[in-house]
Amino acid sequence: MISRFVVRVYGILEREGKYLLLEEDVRGWNVVKFPGGGLEFGEGLTEGLKREFREEFGLEVEVLEHFYTTDFFVPSVFDTFSQVLSVYYKVSPKDENAEIRPMAGEKFTVKWIEKEKLHPEQITLVIDKKVAGMLIGLE
């Protein structure tokens, strides 16, 4: 039975006509997703998103604009007691020339997908699929 919410915040980073995605193993499941993660208690959404980019890439980002918030029921695929609420923002690196690569110890691969080649079926999680569809005009 669903008894709690999990709030997640993600960044949509576009560079030279390509979107940044991550590929990682999550509990034995290969996941392709937008960068970001869980909001911590006491954190605001944009503050949490900036923290995630610092932790994952050592990258300072500017949050440009809200893009999407989950507007349908999504149970967590990792926790049967949780409902997922995800918030997406468009972001930009404060240093436009910064190399975007995982911080030491991070276990994901950076993937850049051209906007023209992006398709929801390349993405793993249901909310990220919807966002990918919105980015390319399918939603």
- For the chain, give every domain's residue range: 4-135
pLDDT digits (tens, 9 = 90+) for 97-128: 999 999 998 999 999 999 999 999 999 999 99
Fold (topology level) of 4-135 = Nucleoside Triphosphate Pyrophosphohydrolase (3.90.79)
pLDDT digits (tens, 9 = 90+) for 22-43: 999 888 889 999 999 999 999 9
Nearest to 8 by CA among 42, 47, 48, 53: 48
The answer to whether 6 and 84 are in contact (CB under 8 A) is yes
pTM exceeds 0.85 for this model: yes
pLDDT value at residue 90: 98
Residues with Cβ < 8 Å from 17, sequence gap 6 or more?
114, 115, 116
Position 87 pLDDT exceeds 80: yes
pLDDT digits (tens, 9 = 90+) for 44-60: 999 999 999 999 999 99
Across 77-99, average pLDDT: 95
pLDDT value at residue 139: 73
pLDDT value at residue 78: 86
Report the C-alpha gap between 64 and 14 in whole angstroms: 12
Across 72-95, average pLDDT: 95
